[in-house]
Every structure is written in C-alpha cells, then in structure tokens.
Amino acid sequence: MKIALGVTGSISAYKALDLCRELTKLGHKVRVILTRGSLEFIQPKVFTYLGAEKVYDPSDDFSELSSHDQDLQGSVLHVSLAKWADQFVIAPLSANTLSHLTAGAAPDLLTSLFLAWHQDKPLSIFPAMNTHMLTHPFVKENLEKFSGFKNCFVGPTQSGLLACADVGDGKLAKVEEILKLIETRTLKTSKKTTLITAGATVAPLDNVRYLTNAASGKTSIPFIEKSLSQGDYVICIAGIYATKELELFKHHPHFKIQRVRTTREMQKAVLEAFPLSDLYISTAAIGDFEFVAQEKKLKKSDLSDSLKIESSPDILRSVLDIKKPHQKVIGFAAESDLCDEVLLTKFKRKPVDLLIGTQVHSGLTGENQAQGFAESFATYRFVDHLGKLGKIESMTKEEMVTKAMTCFNS
C-alpha cells in the first residue's frame, strides 16, 4: 500500500516516527509530508532512516520533482501525491492545521494535498492537542465538519497526562491502534457480517475463585483483520480476560466488541448476534463445565474431596441448531491429540463447514511446555465440510487464517 503520512506541529509528532517505521516494516511505501510546525519537534531525515521513501518540507510544492519522484504523475507535487497514494493519514493533526483544512486554506504542501485528495480514497486524521483546545467550540465544530467528508475517518484521542502537565483528553491515539485502523480500512463493502468469539470463558466457584483455561484470544486477531480488510462488519464476543489487543479495533467503523465472563453469558450474546451474521468463527476456548457458584468464599472446612460440577451450554451446538442455509460456521477444537478419531468424533457431533483442530497444552502439568495458547505459532489439522481430514501442520496463526479462509471460500 502507498501511504501519504502527514505530520503537523503537535508535541506528539515524535510518535509519527514510530508509525512510519512500523508501516515500512509491514511492507508499505510511505512518503512523509511535514508542516512548518512539525519541524520544531522532529528532524526530517530521521524518517528516511526509518524507511520512508521520501520526506517533503512545507515549501517543496514549489520545487522541481527530484529523482525520488519520477514515479509520480504530472509536475505539480500536491496533485501528483494525491494520485500516487492509496491512503492519506494525518497523525498527529494539530488544531492549527485542522483550521486550515476546514477553511479550505492551502498555505503549504500538506494542506494543498488535502484539497487535491480524491474523496474516493481513504483519509484518516488523528487529532492531538491540549484538552482545552480539543474541547474549544471552534475546534469541535471543525472536527464535526469531517463527518460530511466522504471516506474520512476521524480517529480517537486518549486521556491521560499531557505534555503540558494537564490531565485530560487529547493524547494521540496509540500507534498500534492507528496501524490496525490503517491496515484494515477499506472502501469495499461486502455487506456481510462476521461473528467471532475469542478468548476463554470463566466458571466461578465462589465470589473469589474461578476455573478457566490459558486461551488468550490471539487466534481471533488475524480473522478480524482479514474480515475487516474484505469489507465485512465484525462483531467480536470476547472473554473478559481475552487479549487487550482486541481493543485496538474498537474505534474501527465496522467493528463492535462485547466482553463476557461465563459460558452462559457468551451463549446469550452469540445467539442474539448470530441471526444477523453470515459467518460464525468460534475461536473461543469455551469452558465445558461449570460450578454451582457460591455467593461467599468457601472455607476449607466447607470443602469436601470433590466439587459438584455441571455441563456448561454447548454454544457451537446451539448455533448449528438454528443455522440457516446461507450461514457458514468455522469451528475450533482445542485438543491434546489431533488423531483421526478425536477430530472425526467432534465433527460428527458438530458438522461445521470447516473444523480446525488445534494442538494445545497449558504447560502446567508434566514436563511439557505451553503449546497453542498465547503463541503466534501452533499445530493445526483441518476437517472440511465433508469430513475429510487434512494433514497435521505447524504454522503461524496468520498462515492458518489464510489457509482457512481459502478453504472456506473455495
């Protein structure tokens, strides 16, 4: 992807260096456009050291195109850059540059590029300023103007200690969040809804203790990225302790997240969302049983040699019971053994469109290391909709998702 990265005169300008580095590490082509204010905080050449193809000063619009710009169309830089880039990202966006943008003023290259930008391509702006500036009526009015700008996303700000020592809203969004939004933003609309469960559920024993497993919810991340990138609307129902990385998507216009605790809470949320979904991906490691939870902490004197347990609801089975012909389901089987008998037995009980067996171990018993949980790499085995078993393969979660979606869409 070709990205025009605008950087303005905010103290958060230094974070644009991290953003540039991460974008180039991901393989994107980045050209940086600086304002006069940003030059008070950062050195342009640092961006080139971090992988940017080209860094432009505010007055470069009036210079001849250099040898680095030979791939640009035309001789007017701001128009040429608007044609070159797939996305235009301004991070951080200061109150001063914001006022120029909304007034249609063009005192430098960045603002000229904004006016030349094709509104059929994505524009993302990420404000960063003092709380009182952010909440000033004129600034609020300027930000609201972007709601009428086609294909524009106005990013969130964070709350906390600001550079000026004030505490409040106005910090630049996390670089990781900006990255997720840039990578998954698309103007494609599939008109499909993908429902994904993530992480582990918990089974309370009393008001202090509970039983769970080591699932982190990380398997859901590449599925979410893939779904958003193809234009799906994504609903994620996640365990309360599932990875905080899920929160990086929470401001994405096509993403919604709901946190739940128990298996029954997850079942309720899934059954409410499933009728509106086209695809259900059950990556969550859902607890198989539950206790009769006590309202107070059990004392040792109250404990016997065994605890009474009950089977928890089978969410995947309940989904298959109400599944319509147009809906598809990808199920996961977290198993210590991926042999034919184990996976085929599960498939016969729950005939999903694609079953993905994952070899797991918590690492808490014996001499085995943790496997399959909270790792980027795992061992998988696929079972297709006809019950045909694939071979056992070790791969990254990203590779697994690519293969799964290929098999699923074929």
Amino acid at the residue 26:
L
Instruction: Please name the residues in contact with 17: beta carbons below 8 A apart, sequence gap of 6 or more.
Output: 42, 46, 47, 50
For residue 231, count CB atoms less than 10 angstroms from its CB and return exposed for 0-12, middle for 13-18, buried for 19 or more.
Answer: middle
Q: What is the dihedral angle through the alpha carbons of 388, 393, 395, 399, rounded to the nearest 10 degrees?
A: -30
Cis peptide leading into residue 156 (ω within 30°): no
Catalytic residue flag (residue 164): yes
Q: Which of 164, 236, 339, 407 is catalytic?
A: 164
For residue 307, count CB atoms less than 10 angstroms from its CB and return exposed for 0-12, middle for 13-18, buried for 19 or more.
Answer: exposed
Using CA atoms, how far apart are residues 157 and 151, in angstroms rounded to an integer?
A: 19
Using CA atoms, how far apart are residues 179 and 198, in angstroms rounded to an integer?
A: 21
Considering only CA atoms, which of 257, 196, 250 is closest in space to residue 227?
Answer: 196
| Residue 164 DSSP one-character state | T
Q: Rg (Cα) of the chain, in Å, rounded?
A: 25
The dihedral sign for the CA sequence 316, 317, 321, 325: positive
Amino acid at the residue 357:
G
Q: Catalytic residues, which ones?
A: 164
